[in-house]
Structure 1
Amino acid sequence: MLHQIEEPCSLGAHAAVIVPPTWIIKVKKPQNSLKASNRKKKRTSFKRKASRGQQENKGRPFVIKPISSPLMKPLLVFVNPKSGGNQGTKVLQMFMWYLNPRQVFDLSQEGPKDALELYRKVPNLRILACGGDGTVGWILSILDELQLSPQPPVGVLPLGTGNDLARTLNWGGGYTDEPVSKILCQVEDGTIVQLDRWNLHVERNPDLPPEELEDGVCKLPLNVFNNYFSLGFDAHVTLEFHESREANPEKFNSRFRNKMFYAGAAFSDFLQRSSRDLSKHVKVVCDGTDLTPKIQELKFQCIVFLNIPRYCAGTMPWGNPGDHHDFEPQRHDDGYIEVIGFTMASLAALQVGGHGERLHQCREVMLLTYKSIPMQVDGEPCRLAPAMIRISLRNQANMVQKSKRRTSMPLLNDPQSVPDRLRIRVNKISLQDYEGFHYDKEKLREASIPLGILVVRGDCDLETCRMYIDRLQEDLQSVSSGSQRVRYQDHETSFPRALSAQRLSPRWCFLDATSADRFYRIDRSQEHLHFVMEISQDEIFILDPDMVLSQQAGTPPGMPDLVVEQASGSPVSSEDHAILQAVIAGDLMKLIESYKNGGSLLIQGPDHCSLLHYAAKTGNGEIVKYILDHGPSELLDMADSETGETALHKAACQRNRAVCQLLVDAGASLRKTDSKGKTPQDRAQQAGDPDLAAYLESRQNYKIIGHEDLETAV
């Protein structure tokens, strides 16, 4: 067996990110013999060098001596076990198993400085921060202090509560149970991008005499921010959360509980109106422009200086201003900071897609406060005494952004091997079965409930697949509620009330069934990053945490499978063809007749446009209204697969205000962008109709808030 013992280890599939054992050199213990002491007397200079090296090593029994290789991207993993829902302990163990334990560090035992010092000479080094945004900021500050050149890029595995920076860099809103092997591939293949970082310089307010300075701390918890700096209502809520967590840490052991506490604290502060007079006690000057009069006029109760697009657990307070605005779309690497004002109404509207009042995009800010005001720096809150705060650009950090499209699968790398259509069975699984059998794939497969069959394109992503599964659910509900004409696998039939199907809850998610050991959940915010072929070959499994086991009912034996086909390439019946021709010709009576004869309002034409797209393009308001009244709600925001345009985009391009009004009244999204990043407002502006663009913008604000005064409504 000698040849097997001496066989070199390849380090496996993740060899590029693993620190090889050959790099780790054991440090010899200092000798205490008389001979050694005599040698030290003669070579005092060596003694000084050795002691300095031991001091730098800080008692570690090893040092790192790398061997440079362009193919290697060694990874340092820092895990904060206390972040978010205390998931870090499990994550730490998994990374210890996959990697060399000498490259995985527990931040509850020691800070990142010693580890970064140890690996500072390693080329192509990458870092993975497992924790919240505060953990990432901590590591970036240490990298600033050590001045590593070049600075290693930092990826994020989100374990925190908000995870706004992780969302910005495509890492999602929270870790569920994705395989560590996939995370390592994503860090290795990720794109390196820049992140602006901003200085906060605090001094005493020179406009106030010392005797008028109120109680409060004299400095901020951090003097650098990566995400945002804010003052007012949101900081007051964060301060209450922080103080409560410090007093009772055992009550804040999950992201869900943390978010519920935020909601309760926000409502309490809203009733107390503690931030109502913020605008009277601040002065804001951006690049020499005094914004104070506007802040006082609009009576803002919160002011945010935003560096990244995400804020407050995934909301987008800057919004998506079009070309007709005075502001540019927000970027995290442009050297500008966005200044946004909020009232109580606009803060509440954030959770339903709203945005604040855009005030400025600037490079420098001077902020004066005249009373003690709650503030927060990247989620770290305090109550700061009256002060003068200067905000200026510090530097740019290298970050690892998760690639929009993963190309790690050989099947997707070869265009010839991607089939035109996939025929995949959909099965749902309850949370009880998932937790009981997730380490036994066969038992979990047996416990799953079949829903039907999807026929989709070979390059279909999960975000698109979700839409077709929802459509499948609507068909199942139609069948179970009465006699309904539906298309089955190879024929059409009428099937009266034979299928009992429990509707999926809004919280259902996809499961990755391709791993050898178990099934893994996929975060909904990352569905656009995964292809159907990446998680399954012939079956899709979805997890419904709210599925009631007592109501489970599968497909009765002998019953043909219900099929939902993607429109491109699917067989079109004569009635479906008649409906399509009627909409294109603008013939309302023929449309009604064909629909009553069994035609589908969900069909698409050869150019991948829905019926609503055609109706909006031709501008026939009566046909648009009929489709809206009788078709499913998913038609409203269904995108043309070639241009990414919705029906509202088409109507805006045609400058048809009546059709736009019908679509908006029905609930069409005014924030959805096409493949070029344009909203319907932008399309109306490009078509030369500024009045229509202004109308859509006003409807957007009205649709988001819903009331002229949200405080009165509450």
Structure 2
Amino acid sequence: SCQVKFSKSALRRKCAACKIVVHNACMEQLEKINFRCKPTFREGGSRSPRENFVRHHWVHRRRQEGKCKQCGKGFQQKFSFHSKEIVAISCSWCKLAFHNKVTCFMLHHIEEPCSLGAHAAVIVPPTWIIKVKKPQNSLKTSTRRKKRTSFKRKTSKRGNEDNKGRPFVIKPISSPLMKPLLVFVNPKSGGNQGTKVLQMFMWYLNPRQVFDLSQEGPRDALELYRKVPNLRILACGGDGTVGWILSILDELQLSPPPPVAVLPLGTGNDLARTLNWGGGYTDEPVSKILCHVEDGTIVQLDRWNLQVERNPDLPQDELEDGARKLPLNVFNNYFSLGFDAHVTLEFHESREANPEKFNSRFRNKMFYAGAAFTDFLQRSSRDLSKHVKVVCDGTDLTPKIQELKFQCIVFLNIPRYCAGTMPWGNPGDHRDFEPQRHDDGYIEVIGFTMASLAALQVGGHGERLHQCREVTLLTYKSIPMQVDGEPCRLAPSLIRISLRNQANMVQKSKRRTSMPLLNDPHSIPDRLRIRVNRINLQEYEGLHYDKEKLREACKLEEDLQSVTSTTQRVHYQDQESSFPRVLSVQRLSPRWCFLDATSADRFYRIDRSQEHLHFVTEISQDEIFILDPEMVMSQQVGTPPGMPDLVVEQATGISDRWNPAVRKRMLSDSGLGKISPHYEVPDKQKDASQTHILTSVFFLSFAALLQAVISGDLLKFIECCKKGANLLIQGPDHCSLLHHAAKTGNGEIVKYILEHGPAELLDMTDSETGETALHKAACQRHRAVCQLLVDAGASLRKTDSKGKTPRDRAQQAGDPDLASYLESRQNYQMVSHEDLETAV
């Protein structure tokens, strides 16, 4: 019951995640009725079992939109403004709603798993986010620490300092259907719409995947989520906000870099317009925005370096006042100097002085117009051409600039400029220039007079000067400049512009394509390659609080490439056994167990009875640690004991490798089988300095097949296949045999693989580059192979990790005829798909 019955002006609080409103004085009532906000994480107890599903979070509602999930009727509310009747029960996660009746909302709904609703693919489930539990020393460990003078206390303290301020860790579950989303909102962009947008995203998503950039930068969040597969980012703000996030991604060097989508909240929003996100946010439903982010295509965006030095042609005493460096050293949209930069500088200085007057996008544009008109009357940039020198790819453009007396010079990376205008225009049949692209590695140089600047607003364009890869710009006086909308007045300088890299961006698609089509091939699960480290009990007890030293204790002495020759010499095969083998000096004892190496404070043992509750990716970060209590100690704690165990599969035929019964114990009920017995491989090489490697028939057969593909020996290839070789296998370079055959251009072998191999081969991707066999053939301009693959049904719309289709790869390889053929076949495929979708 409400404690503030007669006060209409009592202070209230509203939860953005649950959408409940409560008076400050009534907060204690929530505790009494045992109401909890929807859980956004799980507690990280040392041995807490994993609950791999999310439960519904049911909330009573006095007002509810939509219809009841059970009966399909609406929620009728008579005099709902004053009514205190509970009319609905809805879930804060999936947004399902039921009438508050026994016939609609039943008891089994309370405990059933939640699907997370329509946006489950982009929501970070609370089961992924684990709260780090601070290590609490028990009486036993405290006593042991007093008796021993080890380094456990020091390492524990250092671990606490390293993890200070990071109370959570992320343990994702990889799935090709998941595209987890991070949302960064800049409330200060444009008309200050960010606060409202922030609350709406917290309602639809997990609040711990939504971040307010006015509170802290994006670095910590990106660090936290850096290992999440298929991650996407949504930047809610202006073009400056997008550039900020891209710069942090550069510094963190995430691999692969997550693609960035844009929700335009700024004033110009030229990058958002280029990527089809529009010129501003106008109350579009957040649910629709999330669908567009999920379904958007990945494209590349060129990014350019700006290197600034003092003008070497001017003596020190002649340098004018002004900034010594630009506000940004990288630009994504454009870099300009002259009239437009002067107007932007005035706007920037006025907003810094009176921020309360610039809380509307319309008011901001009106100020721009007024400042531009004033500057036009004063003609402050009329002498710009006399004080600059521009050289593009070795071509001096200064004479032309001085001849046409430009008052503004723009170095443009994207087609849009100045709130949506297109200054480059469409060159059409102009032979000297190509249409502008944001992913071609070229920058467009454009000059403007006052007349051409005015014509921009009615569809005109500037004077096209050059398309180049490098620019050298010399200025001889202080000139207003702007970098992606950030202005300054730069002192006389030497500026060099060069290509930095390409960023992955999400381009808004015209139609939704995330639903699987009828004839789309099933995706092939990625193959997991992981290193296994074996640890004895003494090392575990001495070093389990220090991750780095424990890793050093089992560090590899050699990598697989360095022992390739040894692998070929030492070949051991047991034809009576089909179990995976572990090569080690000692066999594993029956008491061995897995260690959880992902906790922030220490390593933990995983009980055998709880192995089915953990996934491989949850307990490992690129490697697995195994504790063997009966392992004989040959070295002191803290020194490398040598090569860790290598788990190698032995193939006795085609089907054994894909048979779950012969896989090693890694996965549990969710798809990982129990581990098979381990056997010790006898040491046939007496030389103690040699590393003993077990090579299976599986890898030798692949080597023979690959040699036949490279040499173009069809008869040898057929002979290997008849002996039971598996055409689905991938080599150390993550490529299938069809990839290699398409790359070498051997049409006969490609045709044989297509006729005798499974259909999954057609669109199987290289796990490093994301390329299909058709991508490989298009890159090498093998037209006959491309035709074979297309006729067999290879997808022409599948993109690689850089968002490129086979047609794009053919265009980049310099084969326009092949690109035209692939484009026509792609259009035919799209028509066929649409016919299948709309058939009755």
TM-score with structure 1 setting the length: 0.57
* Equivalent residues of 1:473, 1:503 under 8 A apart: no
| Distance verdict in 2 for CA 1:123–1:427, change over 3 Å | closer
* Equivalent residues of 1:285, 1:366 under 8 A apart: yes
Q: Deviations over 1:96-135 (max 9, x none)?
A: 0000001000000000000000000000000000000000
Deviation at 1:561, TM superposition (A): 81
* Equivalent residues of 1:499, 1:555 under 8 A apart: no
3-state DSSP class of the match of 1:416?
coil
Deviates more, 1:599-608 or 1:84-93: 599-608
3-state DSSP class of the match of 1:398?
strand
* Distance (Å, rounded) in 2 between the aligned partners of 1:636 and 1:75: 30
* Distance (Å, rounded) in 2 between the aligned partners of 1:508 and 1:39: 24
Q: Deviations over 1:53-110 (max 9, x none)?
A: 6555542332111111111000000000000000000000000000000100000000
Are 1:36 and 2:136 matched, yes or no? no
3-state DSSP class of the match of 2:530?
strand
Q: Deviations over 1:376-411 (max 9, x none)?
A: 000000000000000000000000000023457999
Deviates more, 1:540-549 or 1:263-272: 540-549
Alignment of 1:539-554 (within 5 A): none
* Distance (Å, rounded) in 2 between the aligned partners of 1:429 and 1:49: 22
* Equivalent residues of 1:500, 1:553 under 8 A apart: no
* Equivalent residues of 2:534, 2:645 under 8 A apart: no
| Distance verdict in 2 for CA 1:623–1:531, change over 3 Å | farther
Q: In the alignment, which residue of structure 1 is the partner of 2:682? A: none
* Distance (Å, rounded) in 2 between the aligned partners of 1:39 and 1:440: 17
| Distance verdict in 2 for CA 1:259–1:494, change over 3 Å | farther
* Distance (Å, rounded) in 2 between the aligned partners of 1:3 and 1:196: 53
Q: Deviations over 1:595-614 (max 9, x none)?
A: 99999999999999999999
| Distance verdict in 2 for CA 1:654–1:90, change over 3 Å | closer
* Distance (Å, rounded) in 1 between the aligned partners of 2:586 and 2:282: 25
* Distance (Å, rounded) in 1 between the aligned partners of 2:382 and 2:189: 32
| Distance verdict in 2 for CA 1:212–1:196, change over 3 Å | same
Are 1:642 and 2:768 matched, yes or no? yes
Deviates more, 1:425-434 or 1:271-280: 425-434
3-state DSSP class of the match of 2:272?
helix
| Distance verdict in 2 for CA 1:211–1:168, change over 3 Å | same
Give the unaligned 5+ runs of structure 2. Answer: 1-105, 654-703
Deviation at 1:692, TM superposition (A): 33
Q: Percent identity?
A: 91
* Distance (Å, rounded) in 2 between the aligned partners of 1:110 and 1:87: 18
* Equivalent residues of 1:431, 1:547 under 8 A apart: yes
* Equivalent residues of 1:129, 1:136 under 8 A apart: yes
* Equivalent residues of 1:476, 1:499 under 8 A apart: no
* Distance (Å, rounded) in 1 between the aligned partners of 2:202 and 2:754: 55
* Distance (Å, rounded) in 2 between the aligned partners of 1:176 and 1:541: 52
Deviation at 1:511, TM superposition (A): 56
* Equivalent residues of 2:132, 2:169 under 8 A apart: yes
* Distance (Å, rounded) in 2 between the aligned partners of 1:49 and 1:444: 15
| Distance verdict in 2 for CA 1:281–1:557, change over 3 Å | closer
Q: Deviations over 1:439-498 (max 9, x none)?
A: 999999999xxxxxxxxxxxxxxxxxxxxxxx9999999999999999999999999999
| Distance verdict in 2 for CA 1:207–1:702, change over 3 Å | farther
Deviates more, 1:486-495 or 1:611-620: 486-495
* Distance (Å, rounded) in 1 between the aligned partners of 2:170 and 2:188: 28
* Equivalent residues of 1:57, 1:63 under 8 A apart: no
| Distance verdict in 2 for CA 1:643–1:536, change over 3 Å | closer
Deviates more, 1:483-492 or 1:162-171: 483-492
* Equivalent residues of 2:635, 2:641 under 8 A apart: no
Deviates more, 1:251-260 or 1:482-491: 482-491
Deviates more, 1:323-332 or 1:591-600: 591-600
| Distance verdict in 2 for CA 1:272–1:108, change over 3 Å | same
Q: In the alignment, which residue of structure 1 is the partner of 2:396? A: 290
| Distance verdict in 2 for CA 1:428–1:391, change over 3 Å | same
* Distance (Å, rounded) in 2 between the aligned partners of 1:290 and 1:425: 56
* Distance (Å, rounded) in 2 between the aligned partners of 1:671 and 1:234: 41
Deviation at 1:628, TM superposition (A): 60
| Distance verdict in 2 for CA 1:213–1:472, change over 3 Å | closer
* Equivalent residues of 2:582, 2:645 under 8 A apart: no
Deviates more, 1:40-49 or 1:9-18: 40-49
Deviation at 1:343, TM superposition (A): 0.6
Deviation at 1:559, TM superposition (A): 90
3-state DSSP class of the match of 1:155?
strand
| Distance verdict in 2 for CA 1:519–1:633, change over 3 Å | farther
Deviation at 1:324, TM superposition (A): 3.0
* Equivalent residues of 1:202, 1:388 under 8 A apart: yes
Deviates more, 1:114-123 or 1:613-622: 613-622
| Distance verdict in 2 for CA 1:361–1:494, change over 3 Å | same
| Distance verdict in 2 for CA 1:157–1:348, change over 3 Å | same
Deviates more, 1:49-58 or 1:556-565: 556-565
Are 1:691 and 2:814 matched, yes or no? no
* Distance (Å, rounded) in 1 between the aligned partners of 2:628 and 2:714: 40
Deviates more, 1:166-175 or 1:698-707: 698-707
Deviates more, 1:52-61 or 1:39-48: 39-48
Query: Which protein is bigger by CA-based radius of gyration?
Result: 2
Are 1:474 and 2:558 matched, yes or no? yes
Q: Deviations over 1:553-588 (max 9, x none)?
A: 99999999999999999xxxxxxxx99999999999
Deviation at 1:523, TM superposition (A): 56
| Distance verdict in 2 for CA 1:26–1:246, change over 3 Å | same
- The alignment of Structure 1 onto Structure 2 pairs a total of residues equal to 683
* Distance (Å, rounded) in 2 between the aligned partners of 1:627 and 1:425: 32
Deviates more, 1:262-271 or 1:656-665: 656-665
3-state DSSP class of the match of 1:695?
helix
| Distance verdict in 2 for CA 1:189–1:660, change over 3 Å | closer
More helix by share: 1
Deviates more, 1:95-104 or 1:53-62: 53-62
From 713, 718, 723, the equivalent of 1:587 is 713
| Distance verdict in 2 for CA 1:387–1:703, change over 3 Å | farther
* Equivalent residues of 1:352, 1:704 under 8 A apart: no
Q: Deviations over 1:404-443 (max 9, x none)?
A: 2345799999999999999999999999999999999999
Q: Deviations over 1:338-366 (max 9, x none)?
A: 00000111111111101100000000000
| Distance verdict in 2 for CA 1:77–1:483, change over 3 Å | closer
| Distance verdict in 2 for CA 1:563–1:209, change over 3 Å | closer
| Distance verdict in 2 for CA 1:629–1:113, change over 3 Å | closer
* Distance (Å, rounded) in 1 between the aligned partners of 2:270 and 2:154: 45
| Distance verdict in 2 for CA 1:236–1:60, change over 3 Å | same
Q: Deviations over 1:496-532 (max 9, x none)?
A: 9999999999999999999999999999999999999
* Distance (Å, rounded) in 2 between the aligned partners of 1:269 and 1:534: 61
Give the unaligned 5+ runs of structure 1. Answer: 448-470, 570-577
| Distance verdict in 2 for CA 1:43–1:541, change over 3 Å | closer
* Equivalent residues of 1:198, 1:392 under 8 A apart: yes
| Distance verdict in 2 for CA 1:293–1:178, change over 3 Å | same
3-state DSSP class of the match of 2:517?
helix
| Distance verdict in 2 for CA 1:311–1:106, change over 3 Å | same
From 569, 585, 608, the equivalent of 2:734 is 608
Q: Deviations over 1:156-177 (max 9, x none)?
A: 0000000000000000000011
* Equivalent residues of 1:178, 1:520 under 8 A apart: no
* Equivalent residues of 2:557, 2:642 under 8 A apart: no
Q: In the alignment, which residue of structure 2 is the partner of 1:105? A: 211
| Distance verdict in 2 for CA 1:402–1:601, change over 3 Å | same
* Distance (Å, rounded) in 1 between the aligned partners of 2:613 and 2:319: 52
| Distance verdict in 2 for CA 1:289–1:579, change over 3 Å | closer
Deviates more, 1:622-631 or 1:237-246: 622-631
| Distance verdict in 2 for CA 1:372–1:495, change over 3 Å | farther
| Distance verdict in 2 for CA 1:176–1:670, change over 3 Å | farther
| Distance verdict in 2 for CA 1:141–1:655, change over 3 Å | closer
* Distance (Å, rounded) in 2 between the aligned partners of 1:592 and 1:158: 57
Deviation at 1:6, TM superposition (A): 3.1
